[in-house]
Chains A and B, each alone.
Chain A
Amino acid sequence: MGKTIIEKIIQDHTQDEVKPGKIVWMDLDIRSARDFGGPNVAKHYEREYRDEPVADPTKTYFTFDLCVPACTLKYADNQQICRGFAKKHRIAVFDVDKGIGSHVLMEEGLACAGKTVVGTDSHLNILGAVGCFGQGMGDVDITFAFKTGKTWFEVPESLRVTIKGGFDWPTSAKDLTLFILKNLGTEKAALKAVEFLGDSTTNLTLSNRITLCSMVTEMAGIIGFVPQFDEPFVQEILDFSGEKMMSIQGDPDAEYSDEVEIDVSGLPPQIAAPSSPTNVFDVSELCGTEIHSGFIGSCTNGRLEDLQEAVRVLKGKKVKEGIMLKIVPATQKVYAELLQEGVLEDLFRSGAIISNPGCGGCAEGHIGLTGRGEVQVSTGNRNFAGKQGKGLTYLASPAVVAASCVRGEICSPEDL
């Protein structure tokens, strides 16, 4: 019998029989820890394994992204703990200047199609965007992974989602993602590997795929793959990471637990209202809701293309007086591209606040908590109560966030 994508990748990393429901030992190509979870990994390691070496320092990394540079004493201490551990074990650190760890692992060509990567980031499954099996885990699991280079994993079932039809600007990959969330909820993809297929997936760029795959976490799925790699896409990843990556496809006779078809023809812009990412509406339904701030960034929408979409709306316009628009590029590399392409200047002229790269603005990071009573539109992936402060958060595309910040209320770019 044929195999699904996830079954193929796992089979490549284990001697055990791979079948949904089976638990296997899986070899890990990369193991990482960030400034959240990382300090516990260091502490567990010191307690359990003392001075014993990690399995392979060249496959082990720290990535600091949550609070960079640290703006609380706790984060500052925690980052120091990790740096000390890294030095002792000769582990490389992508430090506070580098940006979101999952993105850095892709940019560096460390997370590639067919590889296995674990870390303390619950959105590490974003690596599915390049066909890599990334998985977030707890600090106990990551400590063990540092020591042994392995983890155990229960082979998941796979779900096939076929996306039909296409859409035009200002609808974007984020709107597609929110619409899929609306359709799948947190049940249909739960604990499954999801394969996104259909003609319109072929046209998705890398940053589009990153947006889609990042929110498989919110669908409660294990990981999402977009297996259609046509020539331009292969070239795009080559330019991006320096690695030639080939697509991994599910076999025609592979077994899928379920198949879902979602028609996105003519899809209008979407928005998720507080306090769940699955609480999705057409933007037109919430048009006119007063806002106080906007955030464009996060692992979901922090790449050059995302910020170009924002500029497409903001160019020649101004963020409304009294509204804060916070912009956080995903990585240092993106920041350099923004400079080069002149995007940074356009954003600056529109009145946006631009920060150094990282997660800031998504979790309780280095930029932008919301206060009680504050209403924010964000390009992030979670709007649970308390995740970004005490205010209310709506989730939307960069274009919708930009337009809403110009108006001072939720609106679509077409309404301007």
Chain B
Amino acid sequence: MERTYFTGKIWVLSDLEGQLIENIDTDQIYHNAFLHITELAKMGEYALGNLEGWKDFPKKAQPGDMIITGRNFGAGSSRQQAVDCFLALQVSLIIAPSFGAIYFRNAVNSGFPVLKSHDVERLVLEGKLETGDQINVNVLSGECTNVTKDFSFGVLPMSEVQHAIFQVGGLFRYGNELR
């Protein structure tokens, strides 16, 4: 089945002033003290565990929730756990103005949807995207609707390549399909 439409509740990763937090690095996403953990299911409880104000995220997040965050999300090291912890919590996707280059590669290769958007910074600033809002996202076309506040906005659609890897569930499986 094609996975194109997503619907879920959003978490807006903002600071006390309501600004989107920028440059959240992989150590803030997944603290290096827990790098020894190899079982995916166990990684969820450490997601955002080193990000001020968001340490209780794993307790609050529900499967299917989405994350909206500031620019250069996933800067820094190449640790895969910073992607896997969200897969473990069944977070469905992340939207940000931009991502760290290695983080983006790791996420795409794991079949985890990371989407870029030029609009989210402004929408958060204007109060049009708030934690708890219900959002619909079409990852292929990039069309999004905020159901709670009843308006539409856009994210950059997934490229064909990213979509193809995503549909089969990761880069290795994609390699198998090419047989």
Contact = CB atoms under 8 A, between A and B. Distances in A.
Contact of A24 (B78, B161, B174, B176): B161
A22 interface: yes
A16 B160 contact: yes
Given A141-B105, A152-B108, A152-B165, A22 B172 contact: no
B78 A138 contact: yes
A52 interface: yes
A55 to B, nearest CB: 9
A144 B78 contact: no
Contacts, number: 46
A201 B106 CA distance: 36
B78 to A, nearest CB: 6
B159 interface: yes
B123 to A, nearest CB: 21
A147 B176 CA distance: 9
B176 A48 contact: yes
Contacts of B162: 23, 152
Contacts of B159: 22-23
Interface string A40-61: 0000100011001000000000
Contacts of A44: 172
Interface residues of B, number: 21
Contacts of A25: 161
A144 B106 contact: no
Contacts of B105: 137-138, 141
A152 B161 contact: yes
Contacts of A141: 105, 109, 171
Contacts of A52: 179
A191 interface: yes
Given A138-B78, A148-B178, A191 B172 contact: no
Contacts of A143: 172
B40 interface: no
B140 interface: no
Nearest to B108: A152
Interface centre among B109, B165, B171, B178 (most CB of A within 10 A): B171
Interface in B134-179: 159-162, 165, 171-172, 174-176, 178-179
Interface centre among A23, A49, A143 (most CB of B within 10 A): A23
Contacts of B165: 152
A353 interface: no
B102 to A, nearest CB: 7
A140 B178 contact: no
B21 to A, nearest CB: 20
B101 interface: yes
Interface in A3-18: 16
Given A24-B161, A152-B161, A138 B175 contact: no
Interface string B91-111: 000000000011011101100
B79 to A, nearest CB: 11
Contacts of B104: 154
Nearest to B162: A23
Nearest to B102: A138
Contacts of B108: 152
Interface string A146-164: 0110001010000000000
A364 to B, nearest CB: 17
A48 B160 contact: no
B109 A148 contact: no
Interface centre among B104, B106, B172, B175 (most CB of A within 10 A): B175
Nearest to A44: B172
Contacts of B172: 44, 48-49, 140, 143-144
29 contacts: A16-B161, A23-B159, A23-B161, A24-B161, A48-B172, A48-B175, A48-B176, A49-B172, A49-B176, A137-B105, A138-B78, A138-B102, A140-B80, A140-B109, A140-B171, A141-B105, A141-B109, A141-B171, A143-B172, A144-B109, A144-B171, A144-B172, A144-B174, A147-B175, A147-B178, A152-B108, A152-B162, A154-B104, A191-B101
Given A22-B159, A48-B172, 5 more contacts: A16-B160, A16-B161, A44-B172, A49-B172, A152-B161
Shortest 8 CB-CB contacts between residues of A and residues of B: A23-B159, A23-B161, A48-B172, A147-B175, A152-B161, A144-B175, A144-B171, A148-B175
